[in-house]
Amino acid sequence: MSDLLANLNPEQLQAVTLPPQHALILAGAGSGKTRVLTTRIAWLVQTGQVDPQGVLAVTFTNKAAKELLARLSGMLPLSFGHSARGMWIGTFHGLCNRLLRAHHRDAGLPQLFQILDSGDQLAAIKRLLKALNVDDEKFPPRELQHFINAQKEAGLRPHAVEAWDDYTRRRVELFAEYEAQCQRESVVDFAELLLRTYELLERNEPIRRHYQRRFRHILVDEFQDTNRLQYRWLKLLADDGREGGACLFCVGDDDQSIYRFRGAEVGNMRDFEREFHVANVIRLEQNYRSHGNILDAANAIIRHNTARLGKNLWTERGAGEPIRVFEAYADMDEARWIMEEIQSLVRDGMSRSDIALLYRSNAQSRVLEHQLFSAGIAYRVYGGLRFFERQEIKHALAYLRLIANPDDDTAFSRVVNFPTRGIGARSLEALQDAARTWNSSLYSTVPHLSGKPGTVLAQFVRLVEDLRRDTARLPLPELVDHVLDASGLRDFYRSEKEGQERLENLDELINAAANFLGESGADVEALAQPHALLADFLAHASLEAGDHQADAGSDAVQLMTVHSSKGLEFDAVFLSGLEEGLFPHENSAVENEGLEEERRLMYVAVTRARERLYLSFAQSRMLHGQTRYNLRSRFLEEIPEGLVKWLSPPSPRSMGARSGAGMRVEPARGGFAPRASQAPARSQDLGGLRVGQLVTHAKFGQGVIVAAEGSGADARVQINFGSAGIKWLMLAVAKLSPA
């Protein structure tokens, strides 16, 4: 016990040992949030305040859930008499899946319902629109998908949606059709997992009471990322003063809320505090990660946001190195500079994997990769396709899904003609029409068809039936193996010229099945029912798409977006592309509170660094095939100059450098640079000025030359003055000086 609480700082200790009441922990970046969460659980269990089965811990990602469980298992060794066994630890979606499997009847679902990931959902919607003959120009599938998910996240079924115009009325009809289709096919999308569970708990009093009594303590990680429905879900299980229920222990950081665009509702923090009369709000502000200069910069930046719950990070470590800022002439120069700095850090003994290269958008990684690659520096890019999202894996899973549930039309459509077996569009159209008249799934409609479509489709049905029969007694990995062969997938990729990697991935799927089997702790009884286990495996595949990229272990520089860096930390962090329009992103200007979210993103980026932080931007940048001239990011101006060390750009052509002297410049705020309306002229006489250069105008302040035309006395330049607008000025008239 004393071990458990040793070395906690006073705020952490207070949070960990709070009495059983609702609590909100405002945990700043690097303040030991996970430690508080795990120690709180361990403390509650070890002091006998709660049985392990009375604990429910909710996270957003599988990774976080795994980490929580791993650290908890270390704190609650079996020998102590208590263990993490019996606790429910998982993601919102994983827990909902568990609840819906357990109460599938009450939730109106078959036991072996399957889960659609976003891609499956989109495919299902496209299929629906086609079947209903809906013009997908008027109702773009993606937009409809977004609409449906938004309604579900607001807790609304079609009948409850208020539609004031024809367009929305039609979308609501399609929403209803989509629901009918999902129900018919026994599939459930991500939002549905949450909404179904919510409705189950809300409507079924015995079940709700059961879980309210069972869970005494609910702990929520990354609470600032919860959406409306997740918050309401928590409210149903928690003690709101009427039905008993659990204590909520919510840990989060409003300053790190960066997922508004996918439904996260920071307001949940305030609502929680108010609706649950939270008396215990604890701020964890001591940071154990970064040096002082880095924290001071982060604090200074985030202070520009309004409507914060308020927090200020501090550290006992020293100020450390200044923050290095570099202005490059072009994106390539920026990338080269970063590459050279990395080389120098590595020479000084830093390992590559302790260095991160962050950017606002994925498109920026290309230039950076190019430089690293040509310099022979090992790097690893996060993002991109994940294991269970790969085409070949999706195909294999579709066969497996058909074994578990032949009515899954999404799976059916995906592989009915893959590998090709002469089932063309005509046959499928005939099948779809028939399925509509018989109101049954594609699979079960096949026997009703005659003629050529009937024959070829019957063969496919026979294939699936053979698969089901032949795998009925096989252990899961062998089942998968058999399906890969019998479906023809292996043969297909063997004959593909670039199929080697795909074949390896298919083999990896067998491994994944074996691992799943091992981790599931399936007993003899479960092993005797491979197809039930298969359904579990499929749910696992949908809920956990796998790591972004394997290849870990190697000592490589880490490249990723600022978003994906959340939760990680590195000795050295390079943040590139600090330009208006890029970061803050131009789209954020028109979004409600978009700029504040961008600033939180900046805050997240800065607080990733332990020792060294490098910020850089370029005067010109290739984007979408065109050169853009951007002003430097306002976020740079928000960092106190005393924390910063400006580095001279290598190019003598660059005149924008303010080396050494700190940042005494007029901040050019607001507005974004447009695309250059004209390519930079090579031999124009612009009186020593050039496109891309930063200049100062007596009245408009600082701006970037975006374009030029004419020469000599007729020369005109277009300048982006940020908030003062974009103007064409006669060089002979306007008094411009290099900034």
Which residues carry out catalysis?
Answer: 33-34, 221-222, 256, 608
In sequence order, which ranges of 521-655 are alpha helices (DSSP H)?
A: 524-527, 530-543, 562-565, 594-606, 634-637
Candidate list 107, 247, 545, 604; residue touching DNA; CB under 7 A: 545
Q: How far is the CB of 45 from DNA (least distance, A)?
A: 25
Q: Side chain identity at 172, as an amino acid letter?
A: V
Residue 194: CB atoms within 10 Å: 24
Which two structure tokens, joined as six digits, stand for 682? 């090579």
Tokens of 43: 């403390």
- In angstroms, give the least distance from the CB of 627 to DNA: 10
Report the candidate in 120, 175, 203, 647 with the shortest Cα–Cα distance to residue 401.
Answer: 120
Is 256 one of the binding residues for DNA (CB under 7 A)? no
Min dist. Cβ of residue 600 to DNA (A)? 10
Site string for DNA, 624-643 (x = CB under 7 A): xx------------------
Residue from 561, 620, 718, 720 binding DNA (CB under 7 A) = 561
Stretch that binds DNA, among 239-247, 419-427, 433-441, 528-536 (CB under 7 A): 419-427
CB-CB contact of 205 with 244 (8 Å): no
42, 302, 416, 423: residue in contact with DNA (rule CB under 7 A): 423
Our CA dihedral for 460, 462, 467, 469, rounded to 10 degrees, sits at 160
Question: Min. distance of Cβ 160 from DNA in angstroms?
Answer: 22
Does 62 sit near DNA (CB under 7 A)?
A: yes
In Å, how far are 101, 102, 105, 181, 540 from 97, measured between CA atoms? 6, 9, 13, 20, 10
Per rule CB under 7 A, is residue 540 in the interface with DNA?
no
Residue 63 or residue 494: which is nearer to DNA going by CB?
63
Binding test (CB under 7 A) with DNA, winner from 420, 439, 683, 737? 420
CB of 598 to DNA, least distance (A): 8
Tell whether omega for the bond before 649 is within 30 degrees of 0, i.e. cis: no
Q: Considering only residues 9, 61, 168, 520, which one is a binding residue for DNA as defined by CB under 7 A?
A: 61
Contacts with DNA by CB under 7 A: the residue count is 45
Which tokens go with 586?
């131009």
- Cα 93 to Cα 197: distance, rounded to the nearest angstrom: 10
- 28 annotated ligand binder: yes
Q: Report the C-alpha gap between 400 and 407 in whole angstroms.
A: 12
- In DSSP notation, 266-285 reads THHHHHHHHHTT--EEEEE-
Number of residues in the chain: 739
Q: By C-beta, is 276 or 635 nearer to DNA?
A: 635
Element (H, E) at 347: helix 331-347
> 126 or 716: whose CB is closer to DNA?
126
| 27 assigned binding-site residue | yes
**Would you say 188 or 269 has its CB closer to DNA?**
188
Task: Reduce the DSSP state of residue 492 to 3 states and report it.
Answer: helix
Quote the CA–CA distance of 301 and 294 in Å, as a whole number.
11
Q: CB under 7 A: which stretch of 266-274, 347-355, 359-367, 433-441 binds DNA?
A: 359-367
Cβ of residue 188: shortest distance to DNA, in angstroms?
12
431 forms part of the interface with DNA (CB under 7 A): no
712 is in an annotated binding site: no
From 110, 244, 424, 447, residue interacting with DNA (rule: CB under 7 A): 424
31 carries a ligand binding annotation:
yes
Q: x/- string (CB under 7 A) for DNA, residues 68-97?
A: -----------------------xxxx---
Nearest approach, Cβ of 623 to DNA (angstroms)? 8
Residue 608, SS3 per DSSP: coil
* CA neighbor of 510 nearest in space, from 539, 484, 542, 543: 484
Helix (H, G, I), strand (E, B) or coil at 671: coil
284, 32 contact by CB (below 8 A): yes
Burial class (CB in 10 A: 0-12, 13-18, 19+), 647: middle
Question: In whole angstroms, what is the distance from residue 467 CA to residue 473 CA?
Answer: 11
The answer to the question of residue 60 lying near DNA (CB under 7 A) is yes
- Minimal distance, residue 60 CB to DNA, in Å: 6
Q: Contacting DNA (CB under 7 A), which of 204, 343, 417, 440?
A: 417
443 token code pair: 């699979």
Q: Please tell me whether residue 138 binds DNA under the rule CB under 7 A.
A: no
Which range touches DNA (CB under 7 A), out of 30-38, 360-368, 467-475, 725-733? Answer: 360-368
Per-residue x/- track, 173-192, DNA (CB under 7 A): -----------------x--
How far apart are CB 146 and DNA at their closest, in Å?
A: 10
Place of tokens 């990684």: 365
User: Residue 241, annotated ligand binder?
Assistant: no
Tell me if 33 is assigned to a ligand binding site.
yes
30 is in an annotated binding site: yes
CA 82 from chain centre, in angstroms, equals 34
Nearer to DNA, 175 or 721 (CB): 175
Q: Show the site string, 361-380: x = touches DNA by CB under 7 A, - = not.
A: xxx--x--------------
Distant-in-sequence, close-in-space partners of 632: CB < 8 Å, separation ≥ 6: 327, 578, 579, 580, 617
Restricting to residues 562-621, name those near DNA by CB under 7 A. Answer: 563-564, 585, 587-588, 591, 594
H/E run at residue 614: strand 609-623
Of residues 462, 454, 464, 459, the one with CA closest to residue 398: 464
Strand, helix or coil at 476?
helix
One of 80, 167, 261, 438 touching DNA (CB under 7 A) = 261
Q: Is 422 a binder of DNA (CB under 7 A)? A: yes
User: Which residues of this chain interact with DNA, rule CB under 7 A?
Assistant: 60-63, 91-94, 117-118, 126, 136, 190, 258-259, 261-262, 360-363, 366, 383, 417, 420, 422-425, 543-545, 548, 560-561, 563-564, 585, 587-588, 591, 594, 622, 624-625
Residues contributing to the annotated binding site for ATP? 27-34
Residues contributing to the annotated binding site? 27-34
